[in-house]
Amino acid sequence: MKNSILLLFFSLILMNCESTSKEEKINDFAIIIHGGAGTILKKNMIDDMEAAYKAKLEEAIKVGHTILKNGGSSQEAVLKTIQVMEDSPLFNAGKGAVFTNAGTNELDASFMDGKTLNAGAVAGVKDVKSPIELAIKIMTDSEHVMLSGEGASTFAKEKGLEIVDPSYFYTENRFQSLQKIINQEKTDLDHNDKKANFYDPIIKDSKFGTVGCVALDKFGNIAAGTSTGGMTNKRWGRIGDAPIIGSGTYANNKTCGVSSTGWGEYFIRSQVAYDISAQMEYQKKSLKEATTDVIQNKLTKLGGTGGVVALDKNGNMSFEFNTEGMYRASMDDKGELIVKIYKE
């Protein structure tokens, strides 16, 4: 009897040790970002453009990493990091936003706080310089989660956010991308005498470029944010996954934070960001197991393309995508920097 009790005692100790090791903190703080996913091939990328993307990704992530290293919050790190990418014409967010079918720019963004599960989101604004800042302001200064269009713009003005003339978002290469797709549709109509396929290969890859960030601060709080100009040639006030909590963005201190990029309609239908967190919470999967299953299995089988960056409560990080490339970077608490573009 005594031996049985001792065996049970030591078994409980061993189980506790194993559980503790699984929960071991990998990083006291960390940050991970993306700048969009799609058909990004080395053979199609000139050296100067590749260098420009890598430099901007490095610049952005170092801004957030410095904030975290100095004891700042994950919320501030996500905000400032994404703003660097919003201010760059390289990415489909903020300054580099793509054009709608009407020749305008309509911006979306979302943010979530993993400690409180509070969130803010904005869709379809045309004159707010930093959509991610507006998303956070909606979270902190209103009783709502999502605002859209003119109402969101009015709220931004009332809160003193920077408003710009819509022409601020004009970039020539994005405008030419719109013309290319419009011409493609006209060709389809002329040749096939039927409605052009809105999601043909050229159009399907025209929405990638969304930016996102997930950060874990020294206090154990996770935050996630996503910002985008949406899809080139989008019509009818189309809204993708980026401003949808659970699809484009999700954060929960119990599990992880996620930011998505890709074909938004599929990410909405799959609730990609939340599904990763749910698998970790209810199925006890690791971050890598959950991101792999959601992107490589569930999303792919449904027909969706794109990827996520994710960061769990212990500082583990995951880049997961089913496309040819994803602009991405990460930094841990030791300052190790990873910047990549292509599938490896």
- Give residue-wise pLDDT tens across range 104-121: 999 999 999 999 999 999
Enumerate helices (H) and strands (E) in the chain, giving the number of each: 11, 12
Find the radius of gyration of the CA atoms of the chain. Answer: 21
**Rounded to whole angstroms, how far apart are CA atoms 46 and 326?**
16
What pLDDT sits at residue 184?
A: 82
Whether the predicted pLDDT of 16 surpasses 70: no
Among 236, 237, 258, 231, which Cα is nearest to 247's? 258
Confirm whether 210 is a catalytic residue.
Answer: yes
Q: What's the pLDDT band for 3 if we cut at 50, 70, 90?
A: low
What is residue 304's three-state secondary structure? coil
The residue-averaged pLDDT of 19-39 equals 81
Which of 100, 210, 232, 291 is catalytic? The answer is 210
- Report the candidate in 168, 131, 159, 129 with the shortest Cα–Cα distance to residue 146: 131
Mean local confidence (pLDDT), 152-172: 97
CATH superfamily of the 29-342 domain? (Glycosyl)asparaginase (3.60.20.30)
Please state, in angstroms and as integers, the Cα–Cα distance from residue 335 to each residue in 61, 258, 338, following that order: 11, 21, 10
Tell me how far apart the terminal alpha carbons of the chain are, to the nearest angstrom. 57
Lowest mean pLDDT among 65-79, 137-151, 177-191: 177-191
SS3 call for 333: coil
Q: What is the pLDDT of residue 344?
A: 79
DSSP 33: E
Residue 218, Cα to own-chain centre: how many angstroms?
22
The rounded percent of the chain whose pLDDT value lies above 70 is 87
pLDDT band of 183, cuts 50, 70, 90? confident
- pLDDT per residue over 278-300, tens digit each? 999 999 999 999 999 999 999 99
State the pairing for strand pair 222-228/249-251: unpaired
Amino acid, res. 299? L
Q: 191 or 162: whose pLDDT is higher?
A: 162
pLDDT of res. 342: 94
Residue with tokens 């170092």: 62
pLDDT confidence of residue 188: 63
pLDDT value at position 182? 87
Instruction: Specify burial of residue 4 (Cβ count, 10 A radius: 0-12, 13-18, 19+).
Output: exposed
What per-residue confidence (pLDDT) applies to 13?
Answer: 43
* Beta strands 337-342 and 222-228, pairing class: unpaired
Residue 23 has a pLDDT of 63
The runs of H, that is alpha helices, within 45-148 are 47-69, 74-86, 131-141
Distances (CA, A) of 18 to 11, 14, 94, 272, 288: 11, 6, 46, 30, 19
Q: What SS3 state is found at 84?
A: helix
What pLDDT, on the 0 to 100 scale, is given for residue 196?
A: 43
* Strand, coil or helix: 332: coil
Mean pLDDT of 192-218: 64
